[in-house]
Chain A
C-alpha cells in the first residue's frame, strides 16, 4: 500500500516577535517592493517576510530577488519558486480554465527566461512554512494554504468552519497567506483566524492603482493585524512592462487597478466586484 499522506513542507520556527511586515505575491513589482520596504522601516518592524511568488506578471524578475536577498527579507517558497527551482514547465498556479492558463503561461515563460540560475537554486532552499509568535498568537506563514502551496484562500470561499479545522490541524492560531492576490482577514474568534496579506504585484481589482501588504504586531499582549495600502510609481512599472513586451492586458491592470486576466478562478462575489 503506497503512502498516500500528503507531505508537509520544510518548516522553520522564528520565535517571538513584536511587529512584522508581511509581503504577499510580488510578481516582479520591484518598485512596489521598494515602497513596501520603506513602509516597514517607517513602522520599525522587527522583520519582513515575503510569502512567495516573487516573479510573474511584472518586468525584470531578478531585480525583485536581488532586493529580497540583499535586504534581509525572510522568504517563503511560493508556487513560482517551487516551479522555477524544479525547472517545471508551468507555474502550478492552480488555475483550471484555459483562459486563465493562457496568461499564466506567458508570465511564467517570461519569468523563467529572465531569472538567473543562481536565484533559481536559492529559491529551492527556502522553507515552505515559518512559525512565529506575535501578541500571544501562534502564526503559521505559508503561501497558499498550510496544506497546499497553490490552494486559493478567498474571502468568500473560506468559511469559519474550515478555518477552525485548519487551525486545529496545523496547531496554530493564525494562518498568514497570499496566492489569491486579494487581501482579506477573518477571525472567527479573537486572535484566531486567517490573514491573507494580498499582493504587492498587482492592484486589488478595485479600480485603485496601489497595492497591499500587512503588518501584525503585539498590541498590549494581543495580536493586531492590519492591511496597509502601498502606493508606488505604477506608471513607471507600466512603461517598463511595455518595453519588455509583456501583454497589454497586464499593463492595463497596472494602470487602472482592474484585473483583466486570470479572472475565471475568482469566486462569484470576488468576480462580481471587478470590472471584467
Chain B
C-alpha cells in the first residue's frame, strides 16, 4: 500500500509540474540562498519520530521538536542569519514536500542513497552512522549475529536504507512497515524476530526498554550509503554550499557529540517516570482539540459548501446541475488521503499553506460533497404533496423551499449530519500524513518518546470512543426533542 501512495504522490507532483510551467528545478541556481535569506526563514522538513535525531520534548514549558538534527538545523539557520521553522511531516511525505516547495530542506537522518540522488541533491554527510540489529532481550543469546537470523522474518522501515541492508541476511523474509513503533511492537509480539535499525536510534530504544536488546550488525555498506545528509531540491547549489560550510564547522569542532549528549538528556526527561498519563496527557489533549477543530470546521464549511451543491443539484438547469454533480461524484469517488495530499502539495507550488489549514480545507471540501448528498436526500424525502400544497396556495418556489420543504428536510438531515460529524472525527486522522498535530499524529509522537508501543494506541482508541459516543448520545437527545409527532 505504501508503494502505491508513493506512486500517487509522484504522479501528483508530475501533474502539478505540467500544470505550472516554469517551476522546473534547475532554474534556481544562485537565487536559492538569496531566496531563503530574503524570506528570513529556513523551513526544515523532518519526521519527528526518530530519537535521538528528531523527537518531541518539552522545552521551557513548550513542546517542540528537538534532537541532534534540529540542533544542526539551528546552527545552519544561525549561520545563514535567518529564523528556523520546523515542519514535522511523515517520513514518506518528506521528499514530495521538498519538491512541492512546502519545505526548503530535509534534515531527518536521511541517507543519500543512489535512488534518492536521482530526485534530490544532498549535502556532505554530517553524521557517520552504523547499522544495528534489534532483537528481544530474551533472544540475546539466540541471535548474536546477522547470520543467525537467516531464513527468519526481519522487519525494516519502508523506504529506508535498512530495507536494502536486510537483503544481506541470507534467505530472510523482509517485512516493511512505515512506522518504527509498529515494527518494535511487531518484534515484542513475536511477529518478527529482528529489526534492522539505524545504530543510535536502536540504542536509544534498547536503552529505554528492558525488553529489547541491540547489537551492531556486520553489514557491508557501500561508501555512499553510510551516514546522514541534508536533502535539497535539485539545482539549488548556492544553498548546498552555504550549508556545507556550516556542516564542516560542525565536524571540525565535533559538535555532534555535544548535540547527542543534549538529546540524551531530553530523552531521559521525556521517558520520565511520572506515570504514563501524567507525562503525556498534554499530547493527547492537544491532539483531541485539533481533531475536534478540524472536524467541527469540516462540518461547518462542509455544510455551506454542501448546501450550495445540493441546491445546484436540484436545479432544472443542466449547466448548473452538471458541475455540482461532477464535483460530488469525483470527491466521493477518490480517497480523502489523496485529496489531503493533493491540496497540501499542490498548494506548496504557489504559497506556503500551513498544513493545518490545508487539512481543514481538504476535509471541508470532502465533507461538502457528502453533506450535499445528505441535504439533497433530505429534500427529496419530503413528500411531493408538501410542495404542491404550498405552490397551490400561491407561495413561490423559494418560499416553499424555505418555509415548507427545508424545515421538514432538516429533520432527516440532522441525524445524517451528526453521523457525518462522527465519520469526520474518525477520518480526519488522515491529515496526520501531512504533519497536522491531531490525535493520531500525537499518538505517533507519544509512541516514539515514551518507548511504549501499545498503551498510546489504547489511550487514543479510548479518546475516539468517548468523543463519538458522547456525540451520538447528544444527537439522539436533540433528535428526540425535535420530533413533533
Q: Do A and B bind each other?
A: no
